[in-house]
């Protein structure tokens, strides 16, 4: 480690805290990952794989926690979004209730787009892609129903 507390030594370089901060992902990169996870969440639930849908909803929650750190001006809205929109999606996943999931997911999309407007980004309007992702098996695994009944 560097003797300067504002510099960090890696195996290849010595970086200032400012350089490290510049390497952090921006809002656009984080939100692109959020959109990708939210898309996968929807189609996993539609495929009956509520465990996978919950995984992707938790992934969205985790990414939004990171966004609140790097962009604290969004922290309050992100906390409200988690409480009001991600929690109902997770509850629907836990219950294996596709109808409740679809309603909660759609409300979350609408709320996210309203937040884009609030923060001066009305030109960003997320929509669920018409096609399911093709790189994942979205069907439920054999033990999913048994795990859900134990919860």
Residue 18 lies in a domain: no
Q: How many domains does the chain have?
A: 1
Query: For residue 3, what pLDDT band results from cuts at 50, 70 and 90?
Result: low
Per DSSP, the residues of 62-129 read HHHHHHHHH-GGGHHHHHHHIIIIIHHHHHHHHHT-HHHHHHHHHHHHHHHHHHHHHTT-TT------
pLDDT of residue 123: 98
Identify the residue with better confidence: 82 or 10.
82
- Contact assessment for residue 37 and residue 122, using Cβ atoms and an 8 Å cutoff: no
- Contact assessment for residue 118 and residue 81, using Cβ atoms and an 8 Å cutoff: no
Residue 45 lies in a domain: yes
Residue 109 lies in a domain: yes
Name residue, tokens 């509850």: 91
Query: For residue 2, what pLDDT band results from cuts at 50, 70 and 90?
Result: low
pLDDT of residue 109: 99
Residue 103 has which token pair? 């309603």
CA separation for the pair 118, 66 (Å, rounded): 20
- pLDDT, one tens digit per residue, over 79-138 is 999 999 999 999 999 999 999 999 999 999 999 999 999 999 999 999 999 999 999 999
- pLDDT, one tens digit per residue, over 28-77 is 999 999 999 999 999 999 999 999 999 999 999 999 999 999 999 999 99
Residue 15 lies in a domain: no
Residue 96 lies in a domain: yes
Using the predicted structure, report yes or no on whether residue 11 has a pLDDT greater than 60: yes
Q: Which domain holds residue 114?
A: 26-150
Identify the residue with better confidence: 147 or 48.
48
Residue 16 lies in a domain: no
């Amino acid at each position: 480690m560097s003797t300067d507390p504002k510099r960090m030594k890696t195996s290849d370089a010595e970086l200032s805290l400012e350089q490290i901060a510049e390497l952090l992902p921006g809002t656009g990169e984080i939100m692109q990952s959020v959109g990708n996870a939210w898309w996968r969440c929807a189609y996993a639930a539609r495929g009956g794989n509520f465990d996978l849908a919950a995984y992707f909803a938790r992934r969205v929650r985790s990414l939004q926690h990171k966004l609140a750190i790097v962009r604290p001006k969004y922290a309050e809205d992100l906390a409200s979004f988690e409480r009001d929109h991600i929690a109902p999606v997770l509850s629907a996943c836990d219950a294996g209730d596709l109808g409740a999931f679809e309603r909660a997911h759609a409300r979350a999309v609408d709320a996210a787009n309203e937040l884009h407007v609030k923060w001066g980004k009305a030109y960003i309007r997320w929509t669920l892609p018409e096609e399911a992702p093709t790189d994942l098996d979205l069907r439920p695994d054999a033990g999913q129903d048994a795990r859900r009944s134990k919860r």
